[in-house]
Amino acid sequence: MLHNQGVGRPRVHQTLTALARATGGRIVRGYDGRADILALWGFGGHEQREAFKKHRASGRHVVCLDLGYWDRHAYGVRVTVDSWHPQESDLELTKEPRPGYVVPGYDENFYNPQGHIVLCGIGKKSRRLLGFNGMQWEHEQLRILREIYPERRIVYRPKPGNEEAMPGAGNGSSGSIIDCLRGASMAICLHSNVAIDCALLGIPCVSYDGIGQHGFRGATPAAPIRLTGAARARFLNSVAWFNWQAAEFSEMVKFIEKIIEAKK
């Protein structure tokens, strides 16, 4: 069963159709409680969150889906079970090499130890869900960064779709996130995919939540962590286990089954 409020979006619809074909599931626009395993696309909407709560309260599992950690424009999908971000127990299942994934190298020229700091904003839905008052979280992070790095240039990168500026920080909204990170000394995010971009590009990062917290564990604004070597390879391999293309959905289903089995 696939519960999706955005089924009219062509890319989402194509992705969910492929997944329904791989699982023998059906696509519905509202929660009816009939499925053994519920699959949700997106978690920002009220209906998705309510469906999640009801299904979990019944003792059944929920598969959470959204745009992939990478290859988003090639129908990349990220997946977790019973939580929106992978948990520590889930990552225990990712120690083997992910089939078909090769950890890429990175360009050393991206990283500049004295370069600017990228402060990544969070989306409006996440702010409401987490109880933040507007840009409360971003302003607090800017204050912390200013105390630690008074001479360092700080660039604010809003969540795509959020047209907002931050007084006291440069505007990093134009261009791609790759452009914004080029020459950076670090990036700060709450639960953004930017943490994965930092791992791919060799940029130090602080990630307070999301899958990034597992790779950059213990990082603080005063002591960001730069993933290199085996640590970087392990983290990116783990991320790859939660990121799949439409052609790989049969393998993704096997991984979902493995997670569910481990929860018994």
Provide the pLDDT for residue 5: 47
Domain ranges of the chain: 2-86+243-262, 108-238
Average pLDDT over residues 7-16: 68
Query: What would the pLDDT profile of 116-132 be if each residue is shown by its tens digit?
Result: 999 999 988 888 878 88
Higher pLDDT: 141 or 1? It is: 141
b/e map of 131-151 (b: 16 or more CB within 10 Å)?
ebeebebbbebbebbeeebee
**2-86+243-262 with 108-238: one CATH topology?**
yes
Model's pTM, two decimal places? 0.90
Give the residue, 155 or 84, on which the prediction is more confident: 155
Q: Domain 108-238 class?
A: alpha beta
- Whether the CB-CB separation of 219 and 225 falls below 8 Å is answered with yes
The three-class DSSP label of residue 117 is: strand
The CATH architecture of the domain made up of 2-86+243-262 is 3-Layer(aba) Sandwich (3.40)
- What tokens were used for 83? 């939580």
**C-alpha pair distances (Å), 43 with each of 26, 49, 78, 122, 257:** 19, 6, 12, 14, 21
Burial of 164 (0-12, 13-18, 19+ CB in 10 A): middle
